[in-house]
Structure 1
Amino acid sequence: MPVFTYVSINPNSGDIYALRSFNHEQTKAFEFKVLAKDGGNPSLQSNATVRVIVLDVNDNTPVITAPPLVNGTAEVYIPRNAGVGYLVTVVKADDYDEGENGRLSYEMVEGDRGFFEIDQVNGEIRTTRAFGENAKTAYELIVVAHDHGKTSLSASALILIYLSPALDAQESLGSVNLSLIFIIALGSIAAILFVTMIFVAVKCKRDNKEIRTYNC
Structure 2
Amino acid sequence: MLYLVPTPIGNLEDITLRAIRVLKEVDIILAEDTRTSRKLLDHYGIETPLWAHHAHNEHTAVNGVMREFLAGKKLALVSDAGTPGISDPGFLLVRECVKQGIRVECLPGATALIPALVISGLPCDRFHFEGFLPHKKGRQTRAQYLASLPQTFALYESPHRLVKALEQLLEFCGPERSACVVRELSKLFEEAHRGTLASLVAFFQQHPEKIKGEIVIVVAGKEEKHEKYEKYEKYEK
TM-score, normalised on structure 2? Answer: 0.18
Higher strand share: 1
TM-score, normalised on structure 1? Answer: 0.19
Q: Which has the larger radius of gyration?
A: 1
Higher helix share: 2
Structure with more relative contact order (C-alpha pairs < 8 Å, separation 6 or more): 2
